[in-house]
Structure formats: structure tokens, C-alpha cells
């Protein structure tokens, strides 16, 4: 078990290192090695004293056994901070939200915690950086050497200074651990050891790690996400290079490959400039949105460039006439498409979630910037650049792609093709409508959908959940009307009943409130007899019990339980997962309990829902459900109105919305099948997808109308539209699908999987909601240590 001198020493040191991580709230750390984790000790004369479980590192086996006894006899520790099988300990840290830096937190946890105590462990404690003296490097001085370890066998002594590993200098314990973990277990390295004025080489065989460290929590999750920034850069680079190659193959001209990029760059400059002006930070989890908008800008430019080549040939290679004709004919579909895209995203502003509102404003402006580049700048650029060679333009109609489009179009417009197409899509619609019933709001699995299920983060999260039953908090605030409301026995018993009631839910692991402190104190008063673990009958006895436990603790420590006036406290439940269905059920159970007349606490206090990760997700999910129908209606209605005013036809909008409606059903069905839930990031991306879908239809519809004016034959007009505008539409669709498919190569992160069906990412959660009343906003980080 963990109750050995070596393991407990490391738990103590790990707790110290976690306390030194930037942004950690030093008074809101839960660990048996932290000063705020206390137990009650009976003293002579009938007095009780609250003391830290580990006031210092144990020195002997008797010290370790005493800590084990304390843990087993303390209800608020055993099973919560130490697993019931004594093989794991938990270190939980709250972060001050305004100081939360995901990249820095991720790096410091790796350097200070994981490297020195897992893969970089050599069987000796090395003195670390002194937090009181800043972050200056301190020599790697041996503090403790444990028996029968690699350090002992290498002859290391207390006071030795390790200055190098295989000749490479190390300045402190962080660099030492980083260097040691580069070597596989069983490898022998030479440590440069300085004892006094003498320096010697000590051969050390790298040991197998005897502890496994698992780190989870929202700050850690976002640290993993930020660690993939380089992967995202390379994927974007490969994507754009691949699309340039595809455009060159399509146009047979480097101008055709590069000119559409100009539209995307101009729109990106405008979009990023607007982001900077309003002070909105681009979260890596929403980078796919600018990527898709930029790709959409390039798609509009491809349509224009393809039409420019066509008009250039039609006007006997007259560049000026070709430019005027191309931009005049495509002005309506381009402008209508951009406006529908922008307004379709802007309806997201109806959701009262700040991140979504900011995203809606930024992306809408970004999309509108396409009009400046495509309709105002590009005609000028086309005029001043050299006209394409006639041979290049003619080559477009001789390639295999053009032949394929002609063949597919002829079959599709035949009697058999029409019937087959209608039956095929009707069948898909029926199947999709059946499957989409499985679509849920929120996350459909217990693992984080931001990364793969077998990623290091989800593996760590699963281990912690397995050992401790639940680590995802739901905080219900108990708010009193007057001072000392939390000392009223009626209020406290209602809080206790609330705990027992919700703990019956299969997905609630355990809970904690002030009542747990009261019951523990009373048990210690009566020789740890469980029958005395009750709440006192009067406010005076409650106040005395609180005084015994909290005396000597500063307000910064007691703030995580209750505010100084005892007006506000909380009941915290730890859920096993954050599945959307489970969150909805748990929140409904909370509402049912609060609504019962017997739980009104005589009007002295009320329960307020809800904080913590579960509470924040519940609020977001409720808003999505409440606004989903309205946003879908406004999105489709906006498209219909724009099409109506653009083409002055009541039926044009219906023709274009029908395939869009079917595709929406199929996307929802695919999300249900692939277990992709509706959340704060799928919503804007699905909405953008609706707008992108209508763009394709607008170009084909405009070309049909244009051809009817010439030949007055509907069938012939449809065919001409499909083999011209339809060819460009299919090519841009291939580029879009191929570009998003490359995101599946993203190492460990599951964003790419969701980008394909449909392009989207998952909730950009910050800190895990609120801390206990009286404390700042906080994000939680958990850590499991388990011997092999």
C-alpha cells in the first residue's frame, strides 16, 4: 500500500510541488500531505485539537503506521483522499481562474511532479527549488536516500550534489529528472556527484518506476490541447499545400492555384484584426471555425476563377470583358451566399453563453469580409495580372474530371437516374430520421471528447474515477437569509438529507458538506463510535463544534467550507462522469428535492443551483435545448428570405432548403451513431455547415436561371449548370472534405474525428465553475499516485 516511508515522503513532496505550480490557490489543496487536511486529536482534559495529517514527512515505519491509523479513522479522508484499498492517494488543487495559464501549468506539472517522482525517480529525494526565494535554480542536493534503491546502490549520500548525467550538466532537480527520464529502465548512467570539494562518477542503473502518476482535471485537459498547437500548425500547412496542388491540377495553371488564396488571406486579415480589436482570444478548440471560413472564402474564389476562364474563352480572349461578365453573373450567388453564411452564424448570438456570442460576432464579421476581397478587390487583381494562356483554358474541358462530371450528369438526368436518386435520398432520410433519435445534448460518453478515448488524459481520468468513484464536482450553494444560518440544526439536517438523497443516484460517487465535519467531531468526542456521528440538536452546540474544528485556521482555509459569517456554505457532490443524460437526470433530482415543502429549511436558507463542472455543463446544455429549435428556425428562415429577395421566387427557397434539410437530418444521425453530442462547439459548426450547404445550391440555381434565358429549355439548362457550376461546386466540396479529413491526423486529440462528421470540436471549458462560497473562481486538477 501507500503507507510506507518512501511513498508517503513522495506524496508530501508532490503536494509541495503542486502548491508551487503557478496559479494554484494555496489554501484550497486537498491532500493528506497538505497543511489544510486536518484530523481531530483528543488531548488530556477532554480537549480536541485539529492538526494536519502530515505535519512533516515520516521518518520511520511507526510514523507511517500512525498516518495510516489517522487516515482510516477520519471519515473526510478515507475513501476521498486515500482509496479504500490503500493503494492510491489523491491530490486535488484549485486554481485561481484569473491566473490560470494552461501551457505553464501543463509544463510545470510535467517538470516538477511527473518527471521527478515517476520516470525520473532514482530512489532519493532531491532538494527542489525554494519557492520563498523565487524560481532561481538551486543545486540538485540529495536530501534523503532510501534503502535498497538505485540511489543507495549507486553510493549516493545525504548532502551529495548531483552535477551531471553522463557528462551533461544539470543545474537543479528539474533538469536532473528531465535528463534521467530520457533513459530506459535498466540503463546504467554515470552521475557526476560532488561531495565537499571532491567530484566523482557514480554508476546508477535507472530503476523501473514503482509509482504511477495520473493527472486529470480541466487545466490538465486544456494543457494537452495546447500541447497539440504544433500539430495543428503542420496540419494547416499540409492542408493548404494539398489544396494548392489540387487547384493546380484542376486549373492547369499556377495562377488558378494561387489567386483564390488571396481571397482567403484578405478575409483572414480582416477577421484576425477584428478579433484583436474586440479583445477576443482565439481558443485552440475553435480554430476549426476560422479554418472553415477561410476555406469557404477560397471556395467562392474558385467559383469566380472558373467562371472567369469560361468567360475568357467565350469573349474571344478579351480579358476586360471576361472579368466584367464573370463578376456580373456571379455577383448575386456570391453576395447571397456570404450574407446567408454570416446571418446563419449570427443567430447563435441568441444563446446566452458569452463564448458563443463572441464567436458568433467574430465569425460573422470574418465571413462578411469575404465580400470585400471577392467582389471588390479580385476584379482589380484579375485586371492587372497577366491573362491566362488560351491553351490552359482549353485544357480544362479535356481532363478526366470534366469527363467524369459529364458522365455522372448524363446518368443523373436520365429517367433511371432520377428515380434512383429520389429513392436513394428518400431512404437515407428515413434512416437518418430514425437514427437521429439517439442524438443527445452534452457529452455522450464519460471520457473527455476533446481527446481520444485511449489518450493519456482519458486513461488518467479513468484510473482516478475507478479508484475514487467520482471526481467531477457539482456544487449546490446553501445561502442563508441571516448571519449564522449555517449553524441552524434544521438547515444542516436538510443539507445532510440532500446528500443522502442524491448519493442514491448511480452516477454520484460521494458528497461533502459542513455536516460531515460536525459528525466527525462528535465521533471523536465519543471514542469514534459511529452512533455518535450526528448533528447537534441546538445552535449553541453546533457553534461550539465548529469552533473546535476551525480554531486556529485562517479565513482563507475555512472559506472552502463556509463564509466567515456562516451565512453561506455548499453541498458538493462528486459525479462519476459528465454524460449529457446523466447530468440532466442529476440536476432534475436536485430540483425535485429542493421543491419538496419539507426541505424549505423554515425559510432560513435556500439552495442555489449549481456550480462545478457538472453545474456549468448543465447550464450550457439547458440553454442549448432551450434555443435549439429557435436557432434552427431562424437559420432556415433567414436563408429562405435571402433567397426570396435575391431571386424573387417563392419556390427557389424551397428547392434549395429541401436538400439542406435532408443533409441536416443525416448529420444529426451521423453524430448519434458516432457518439458526438450537441454542445457549445457543435452548435456553431453545424450552423456554419447549413450556410455552406446553401452556397453550393445558389451557384447552380443562378446558372440554371442564366441558361434558361439563353435557350429556354429547362432540361438543357440544368445539364449545362451541372457540368459548369456543378463541376466547380464538386471540386470545392472535394477540397473542403479533404481538408477537414486531414484533421484526423491530429496526434491524440479527437478533434479530427469530429471534424469529419460534422466539422466541430467540443466544449471549451475553462476552470471548473465556482469554488466554495467566499473563494475565487477555480479550476480543479486531480492527481492519482498508485504503486504498481
Question: What is the model's pLDDT at position 44?
Answer: 67
What is the residue-averaged pLDDT of the chain? 81
**Residue 546 has what pLDDT?**
86
- 501 vs 479: CA distance, rounded Å: 19
Q: What is the pLDDT of residues 483-511, one digit of tens each?
A: 888 888 899 999 999 999 999 998 888 88
Residue found under cell 506539472 = 109
Can you give the pLDDT at residue 324? Answer: 92
**Distance of alpha carbon 37 from alpha carbon 54, whole angstroms:** 8
Reply yes or no on whether the pLDDT at 594 is more than 60. yes
> Residue 45's pLDDT is what?
66
How much of the chain exceeds pLDDT 90, in percent? 9
For 335-350, the pLDDT digits (tens) are 888 888 888 778 778 7
How large is the average pLDDT for residues 159-171? 87
User: How long, in residues, is the chain?
Assistant: 788
pLDDT for res 772: 27
The grid coordinates listed for 165 are 548525467
Rounded to whole angstroms, the Cα distance separating 416 from 435 reads 28
Q: Does residue 783 have a pLDDT over 80? A: no
Rounded to 10°, the helix 61-72/5-20 angle is: 70
Angle separating helix axes 415-435 and 400-412, nearest 10 degrees: 90
Concatenated DSSP letters for 320-348?
HHHHHHHHHHHHHHHHHHHHHHHHHHHGG
Mean pLDDT of 602-606: 86
- Which of 329-333, 356-360, 632-636, 763-767 comes out lowest in average pLDDT? 763-767
pTM of the model: 0.78
Which pLDDT tens digit goes with each residue over 2-17? 898 888 988 998 998 8
- The tens digit of pLDDT for each residue in 55-77 reads 888 888 899 999 999 888 888 88
Supply the pLDDT for residue 321: 92
* Nearest Cα residue to 301 out of 377, 240, 363: 377
Please report, for the chain, how many H helices and E strands are present, in that order: 27, 16
pLDDT tens column, 108-142: 898 888 888 888 888 888 876 544 344 455 688 88
Tell me: the pLDDT tens digits for 401-438? Answer: 888 888 999 998 899 988 998 999 999 999 999 998 88
Please write the tens of the pLDDT for every residue from 19-59.
888 988 888 888 998 988 888 777 766 677 778 888 888 88
Neighbouring C-beta atoms of residue 537, cutoff 10 Å:
10
Confidence band for 303, pLDDT divided at 50, 70 and 90: confident
What value does the CA radius of gyration of the chain take, rounded to a whole number of Å? 32
Tell me the mean pLDDT in the region 610-635: 83
- The mean pLDDT value for 582-602 works out to 90
Q: Burial letters for 749-768: b for 16+ Cβ neighbours within 10 Å, e otherwise?
A: bbbbebbbbbbbbbbbbbbb
The pLDDT of residue 372 is 79
* Section 156-165 average pLDDT: 87
Contact 341, 691 (CB under 8 A): yes
CB within 8 Å of 630: residues ≥ 6 apart: 350
* Inter-residue long-range contacts of 129-135, CB under 8 Å, 24+ positions, other chains counted: 129/20, 129/172, 129/173, 129/174, 131/19, 131/20
| Pair 115, 177: CB distance under 8 Å | yes
What's the DSSP call for residue 119? Answer: I
The cell 502518476 sits on which residue? 213
**Best CA proximity match to 545, nearest among 533, 560, 557, 530:** 533
Distance CA 718, CA 726 (A): 10
Residue 292 clears pLDDT 80, i.e. is over it: no
Residue 729 in this model has a pLDDT that exceeds 50: yes
Whether pLDDT at 749 is above 60: no
Q: What DSSP character marks residue 562?
A: B
Helix boundaries (H) for 609-649: 612-647
Residue 761: is its pLDDT beyond 60?
A: no
Q: Could you tell me the domains of the chain?
A: 1-120 (no CATH), 122-208 (2.30.42.10), 224-447+618-756 (no CATH), 483-603 (no CATH)
| pLDDT at residue 591, rounded to an integer | 93
Choose the weakest-confidence range: 175-179, 244-248, 642-646, 684-688. 684-688
Contact status, residue 743 vs residue 737, Cβ threshold 8 Å: no
442: Cβ–Cβ under 8 A, 6 or more apart, which residues?
578, 579, 580, 581, 583, 584, 617, 621, 677, 678, 679
Q: Of the ranges 29-33, 313-317, 632-636, which one carries the lowest mean pLDDT score?
A: 632-636
Q: What is the pLDDT of residue 750?
A: 47
pLDDT of 785 above 50: no
- In the predicted structure, residue 84 carries a pLDDT above the cut 80: yes
Q: Is the dihedral of CA 221, 226, 230, 231 positive or negative?
A: positive
Contact 566, 485 (CB under 8 A): yes
Q: Which helix (H) or strand (E) holds 227?
A: helix 218-227
Q: Which of 628, 762, 642, 646 shows the shortest CA–CA distance to 687?
A: 628
pLDDT at position 475: 92
Residue pLDDT, tens place only, 667-697: 888 888 887 778 776 777 776 766 667 778 8
Q: How far, in Å, are 329, 479, 667, 787 from residue 543 at the CA level?
A: 81, 18, 58, 42
Amino acid at each position: 500500500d501507500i503507507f510506507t516511508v518512501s511513498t508517503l515522503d513522495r506524496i508530501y513532496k508532490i503536494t509541495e510541488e503542486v502548491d508551487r505550480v503557478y496559479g494554484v490557490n494555496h489554501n484550497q489543496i486537498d491532500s493528506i500531505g497538505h497543511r489544510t487536511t486536518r484530523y481531530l486529536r483528543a488531548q488530556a482534559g477532554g480537549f480536541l485539537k485539529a492538526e494536519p495529517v502530515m505535519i512533516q514527512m515520516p521518518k520511520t515505519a511507526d510514523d507511517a503506521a500512525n498516518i495510516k491509523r489517522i487516515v482510516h479513522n477520519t471519515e473526510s479522508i478515507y475513501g476521498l483522499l486515500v482509496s479504500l484499498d490503500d493503494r492510491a492517494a489523491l491530490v486535488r488543487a484549485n486554481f485561481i481562474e484569473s491566473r490560470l495559464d494552461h501551457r505553464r501549468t501543463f509544463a510545470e506539472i510535467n517538470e516538477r511532479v511527473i518527471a521527478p517522482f515517476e520516470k525520473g525517480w532514482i530512489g532519493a529525494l532531491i532538494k527542489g527549488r525554494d519557492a520563498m526565494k523565487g524560481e532561481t535554480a538551486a543545486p540538485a542536493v540529495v536530501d534523503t536516500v532510501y534503502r535498497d534503491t538505485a540511489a543507495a546502490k549507486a553510493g549516493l549520500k545525504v548532502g551529495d550534489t548531483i552535477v551531471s548525467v553522463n557528462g551533461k550538466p544539470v543545474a537543479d532537480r528539474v533538469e536532473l529528472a528531465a535528463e534521467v527520464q530520457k533513459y530506459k529502465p535498466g540503463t546504467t548512467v554515470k552521475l557526476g556527484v560532488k561531495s565537499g570539494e571532491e567530484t566523482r562518477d557514480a554508476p546508477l542503473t535507472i530503476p523501473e518506476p514503482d509509482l504511477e502518476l495520473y493527472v486529470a482535471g480541466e487545466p490538465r485537459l486544456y494543457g494537452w490541447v495546447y500541447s497539440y498547437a504544433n500539430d495543428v500548425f503542420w496540419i494547416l500547412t499540409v492542408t493548404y499545400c494539398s489544396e494548392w496542388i489540387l487547384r493546380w491540377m484542376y486549373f492547369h495553371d499556377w495562377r488558378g492555384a494561387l489567386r483564390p488564396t488571396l481571397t482567403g488571406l484578405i478575409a483572414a486579415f480582416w477577421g484576425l484584426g477584428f478579433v484583436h480589436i474586440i479583445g477576443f482570444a482565439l481558443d485552440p478548440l475553435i480554430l476549426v471555425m476560422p479554418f472553415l471560413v477561410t476555406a469557404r472564402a477560397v471556395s467562392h474564389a474558385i467559383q469566380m476563377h472558373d467562371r472567369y476562364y469560361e468567360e475568357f474563352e467565350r469573349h474571344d480572349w478579351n480579358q476586360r470583358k471576361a472579368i466584367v461578365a464573370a463578376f456580373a453573373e456571379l455577383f448575386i450567388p456570391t453576395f447571397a451566399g456570404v450574407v446567408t453564411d454570416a446571418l446563419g452564424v449570427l443567430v447563435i448570438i441568441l444563446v446566452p453563453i458569452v463564448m458563443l456570442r463572441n464567436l458568433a460576432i467574430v465569425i460573422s464579421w470574418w465571413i462578411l469580409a469575404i465580400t470585400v476581397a471577392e467582389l471588390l478587390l479580385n476584379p482589380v487583381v484579375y485586371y492587372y495580372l497577366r491573362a491566362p494562356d488560351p491553351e490552359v483554358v482549353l485544357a480544362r474541358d479535356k481532363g478526366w474530371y470534366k469527363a467524369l462530371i459529364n458522365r455522372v450528369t448524363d446518368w443523373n438526368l436520365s429517367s433511371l437516374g432520377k428515380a434512383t436518386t429520389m429513392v436513394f435520398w428518400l431512404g437515407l432520410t428515413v434512416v437518418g430520421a430514425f437514427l437521429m433519435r439517439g442524438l443527445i445534448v452534452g457529452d455522450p460518453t464519460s471520457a473527455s471528447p476533446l481527446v481520444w478515448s485511449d489518450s493519456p488524459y482519458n486513461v488518467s481520468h479513468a484510473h482516478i474515477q475507478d479508484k475514487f468513484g467520482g471526481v467531477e464536482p457539482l456544487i449546490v450553494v446553501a445561502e442563508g437569509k441571516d448571519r449564522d444560518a449555517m449553524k441552524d440544526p434544521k438547515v444542516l439536517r436538510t443539507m445532510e438529507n440532500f446528500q443522502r438523497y442524491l448519493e442514491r443516484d448511480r452516477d454520484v460517487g460521494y458528497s461533502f458538506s459542513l455536516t460531515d465535519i460536525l459528525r466527525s467531531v462528535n465521533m471523536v468526542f465519543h471514542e469514534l463510535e459511529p452512533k455518535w456521528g450526528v448533528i447537534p440538536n441546538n445552535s449553541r452546540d453546533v457553534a461550539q463544534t465548529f469552533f473546535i474544528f476551525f480554531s486556529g485556521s485562517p479565513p482563507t482555509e475555512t472559506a472552502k467550507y463556509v463564509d466567515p459569517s456562516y451565512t453561506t456554505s455548499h453541498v458538493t457532490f462528486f459525479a462519476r462522469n459528465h454524460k449529457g443524460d446523466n447530468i440532466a437526470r442529476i440536476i432534475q433530482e436536485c430540483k425535485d428535492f429542493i421543491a419538496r415543502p419539507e426541505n424549505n429549511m423554515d425559510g432560513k436558507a435556500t439552495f442555489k443551483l449549481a456550480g462545478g463542472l457538472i453545474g456549468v455543463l448543465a447550464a450550457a446544455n439547458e440553454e442549448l435545448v432551450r434555443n435549439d429549435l429557435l436557432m434552427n428556425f431562424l437559420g432556415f428562415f433567414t436563408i429562405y428570405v435571402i433567397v426570396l429577395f435575391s431571386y424573387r421566387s417563392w419556390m427557389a427557397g424551397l428547392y434549395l432548403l429541401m436538400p439542406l434539410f435532408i443533409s441536416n437530418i443525416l448529420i444529426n444521425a451521423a453524430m448519434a451513431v458516432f457518439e458526438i453530442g450537441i454542445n457549445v462547439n457543435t452548435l456553431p459548426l453545424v450552423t456554419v455547415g447549413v450556410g455552406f450547404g446553401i452556397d453550393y445550391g445558389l451557384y447552380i440555381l443562378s446558372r440554371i436561371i442564366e441558361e434558361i434565358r439563353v435557350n429556354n429549355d429547362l432540361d438543357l439548362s440544368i445539364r449545362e449548370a451541372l457540368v459548369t457550376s456543378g463541376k466547380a461546386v464538386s471540386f470545392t466540396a472535394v477540397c473542403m472534405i479533404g481538408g477537414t479529413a486531414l484533421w484526423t491526423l491530429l496526434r491524440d486529440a479527437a478533434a479530427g474525428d469530429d471534424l469529419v462528421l460534422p466539422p466541430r470540436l467540443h466544449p471549451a471549458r475553462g476552470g471548473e465553475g465556482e469554488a466554495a462560497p467566499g473563494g475565487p473562481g477555480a479550476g480543479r486538477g486531480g492527481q492519482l499516485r498508485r504503486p504498481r
